[in-house]
Amino acid sequence: MPGGVLRHPVESPLRRATPRRRVGRNIRTMTDRIIPIADARTASIRPPDANRVETPTGRMLDSRNRPLRDLRISVTDRCNFRCTYCMPKEVFDKDYNFLPHSELLTFEEITRLARIFIAHGVEKIRLTGGEPLLRKNVERLIEMLSALRTPEGSTLDLTLTTNGSILGRKARLLVDAGLKRVTVSLDGLDDAVFRRMNDVDFPVSDVLAGIDAAAAAGMRSIKVNMVVQRGVNDDQILKMARRFKGSGHILRFIEFMDVGSSNGWRLDDVVELPLRPLDANYEGEVAERWAYCDGDGEIGVIASVTQAFCHDCTRARLSTDGKVYLCLFAQHGYDLRALLRADASDGQISTAVADIWRARADRYSELRGRATEGLKKIEMSYIGG
Ligand code: SAM
Ligand code: SF4
Ligand code: SF4
């Protein structure tokens, strides 16, 4: 890239977790794709020269004319669940090398980067992980982020995705810190199904209590995300729809992303509720919205496998250790932490972010198929879902 700051990804050996025990075929397939921590295939970034530092315009377009609007920040790669589709026990066991604390971005570093991304057009920030509520004092980070303003002076659309396990204890603190929206992941209502899916025997009643606590604490919007896996929890779809209909919480069904093998799941194949389609709330919304015909709320479908929405994907992802990824399925990240810790100026980091976004051409889901077979994926708990 002439005049740019990006270099080709460094070709060095990956530090991959190797399963210690003999594992089943599915798990082995999954571990083959896992690049859990300290992704070695990082594009190094040279700090841009001081004389080419550019002023952010608030509308940074990538090579496919997509603006930078959303930033997902993974605040920890750790989790107290071992969801079978995300952090299978066989891989994420007691010998697994999670990132040491010194490798994590500090709250000050995260806030500094957030400010830079906002100047380039980011309006929405989602904290994720791992389980973000496990990051010590995460409410302090929320306080820091909710004080940020867009160039027009608006507050951020700040939200957080959680497994809900400690939401009951944290809800009040989160609301007081300025969090108004939360998404709770919940894959079923039957206790046995839920315990089997989280694989740590966690009871569903505690998550439901967490949702109630968030509503009671004054959380203005609560979404519930259910990852649907055929033959695993598809029998929970109607139960979930009935439970959350009329609750004021929006339930969203998410296709299980088992890249290359899952053909995805279609709402109208399985759900017999009378629904009518709704318009998107904003450009780049990933969920298709459906309303109950009796006006008693809405549900959403995130069909990222069967109905790719790359053409208006406006999301960047910041990993726990400060690498920016331009796609959930990206092959490498760009090491912003290295710039932060090498005393680069805000202007230099901002220019590096502009260079990275301008060069972005990612559209994995549109290309999914033979061209993407066998590609190594970054693990969801590290990059943030
Ligand atoms: N621990 C938090 C939680 O579960 O909400 C936040 C991180 S988790 C990685 C974010 C979201 O990614 C969750 O809703 C989870 O269900 C979803 N997820 C993880 N692996 C997935 C997969 N293979 N396909 C679809 N969604 C997945
Ligand atoms: Fe943990 Fe969330 Fe992954 Fe489940 S989906 S293992 S709760 S990070
Ligand atoms: Fe965005 Fe990548 Fe998902 Fe396409 S595959 S919608 S580019 S994150």
Of ligand 3's atoms, which has the minimum distance to the CA of residue 286?
A: 6
Q: pLDDT of 236-269, one tens digit each?
A: 988 998 899 899 999 998 877 743 233 333 333 3
> Which CATH number goes with the domain that contains 295?
3.20.20.70
C-alpha distances out from residue 264 to 217, 226, 302, Å: 36, 14, 10
- pLDDT level of residue 376 (50, 70, 90 thresholds): low
**Is the residue at 216 inside a domain?**
yes
- pLDDT level of residue 13 (50, 70, 90 thresholds): very low
CA 57 to centroid of ligand 1, rounded, Å: 33
The number of distinct structural domains making up the chain is 1
- Mean pLDDT across the stretch 88-102? 93
C-alpha distances out from residue 305 to 133, 174, 207, 257, 286, Å: 28, 32, 27, 6, 12
329 alpha carbon, closest ligand: 3
**Is the residue at 33 inside a domain?**
no
Residue of higher predicted confidence among 35 and 375: 375
Lookup result for tokens 């959380």: 219
pLDDT for 20 equals 34
Question: Which of 199-208, 270-279, 346-355 has the weakest average pLDDT?
Answer: 270-279
Q: pLDDT of 265-298, one tens digit each?
A: 333 333 344 455 667 766 666 666 766 666 666 7
**Is the residue at 177 inside a domain?**
yes
Report the percent of the chain where pLDDT is more than 70. 73
304 alpha carbon, closest ligand: 3
- Helix extents (H) in 4-152: 25-33, 107-119, 138-146
Of ligand 1's atoms, which has the minimum distance to the CA of residue 258?
A: 23
DSSP 62-94: -TTS-B--EEEEE--S--S---TTTS-TTTSST
pLDDT for 206 equals 98
**Is the residue at 25 inside a domain?**
no
The helix-helix angle for 167-177 and 204-217 (nearest 10°) equals 20
**Is the residue at 37 inside a domain?**
no
**Is the residue at 65 inside a domain?**
yes
331 alpha carbon, closest ligand: 3
pLDDT for 302 equals 64
Q: pLDDT of 154-177, one tens digit each?
A: 999 999 999 999 999 999 999 999
Q: Report the residue among 286, 364, 380 best suited for mutation to probe ligand 3: largest number of ligand atoms under 8 A from its CB.
A: 364
- pLDDT level of residue 25 (50, 70, 90 thresholds): very low
Q: Which structural domain, as residue segments, surrounds residue 292?
A: 13-19+43-383
pLDDT for 130 equals 94
**Is the residue at 3 inside a domain?**
no
CA 379 to centroid of ligand 2, rounded, Å: 11
pLDDT surpasses 80 at 88: yes
**Is the residue at 2 inside a domain?**
no
- Helix extents (H) in the chain: 25-33, 107-119, 138-146, 167-177, 191-198, 204-217, 237-244, 267-270, 336-341, 346-358, 364-367, 380-383
